[in-house]
Structure 1
Amino acid sequence: MACADVDMDIHGDNEDPHRAGWREPPRIQQYQASEFVPEKEGPLHNLLQKQPAVLGSLQMVSGLLSVGVGLILAVTQDMEESFFTLFRVSLLTGALFIIAGIVSNLLFKCPRLLPVSIMVNCGSIIMAVIACCLISVDLSNWNPGNDQHMRMELLVLFVLVLEVLLSATLCFWFFQEKRAKSP
Structure 2
Amino acid sequence: MACADADMRITGDQQDLWEAGRSEKPIMKYYQASEMLPSKKGPIDDLLQKQPAVLGSLQVVSGILSLGVGIIFAVTQGMSMSLCGLFRVSYVNGILFICAGLVSNFLFMNPGLVSVSLTLNMGCIALAVVAAIFITTDLALWNPDNYHHLQIEIMELIVLLVGASLSAVLCFWFSKAKGSKSG
- TM-score norm. by structure 2 comes to 0.80
Letter in 1 for 2:63: G
Number of the residue aligned with 1:45 = 45
Q: Quote the Cα distance in structure 2 between the aligned partners of 1:56 and 1:93.
A: 15
Which of structure 1's runs of 4+ aligned residues deviate more than 2 A? 31-34, 37-43
Contact map agreement 2:63 2:94 (CA 8 A) in 1: yes
More helix by share: 2
Q: Over aligned residues, Cα RMSD in angstroms?
A: 2.1
Number of the residue aligned with 1:86 = 86
Q: CA deviation at 1:35?
A: 1.4
Number of the residue aligned with 2:110 = 110
Q: Quote the Cα distance in structure 2 between the aligned partners of 1:40 and 1:115.
A: 22
Q: More displaced, 117-126 or 34-43?
A: 34-43
Number of the residue aligned with 2:164 = 164
Letter in 2 for 1:127: L
Q: CA deviation at 1:39?
A: 4.2
Number of the residue aligned with 2:155 = 155
Where does the alignment leave 5 or more consecutive residues of structure 1 unmatched? Answer: 1-5, 7-30
Where does the alignment leave 5 or more consecutive residues of structure 2 unmatched? Answer: 1-24, 26-30
1:17-28, aligned counterparts within 5 Å? Answer: none
Q: Quote the Cα distance in structure 2 between the aligned partners of 1:123 and 1:37.
A: 41
1:1-183, aligned counterparts within 5 Å? Answer: 34-39=34-39, 41=41, 44-183=44-183
Deviations 1:53-105 (A, max 9, x none): 00000000010000011101111100111001001111110100000000111
Q: Quote the Cα distance in structure 2 between the aligned partners of 1:169 and 1:43.
A: 16
- TM-score norm. by structure 1 comes to 0.80
Aligned pairs, number: 157
Q: CA deviation at 1:37?
A: 2.9
Q: Describe the SS at the equivalent of 1:135.
A: helix
Letter in 2 for 1:100: A
Deviations 1:3-55 (A, max 9, x none): xxx9xxxxxxxxxxxxxxxxxxxxxxxx9864123246477100000000000
Q: Quote the Cα distance in structure 1 between the aligned partners of 2:45 and 2:89.
A: 36
Contact map agreement 1:67 1:91 (CA 8 A) in 2: yes
Q: Quote the Cα distance in structure 2 between the aligned partners of 1:123 and 1:84.
A: 18
Q: More displaced, 106-115 or 41-50?
A: 41-50
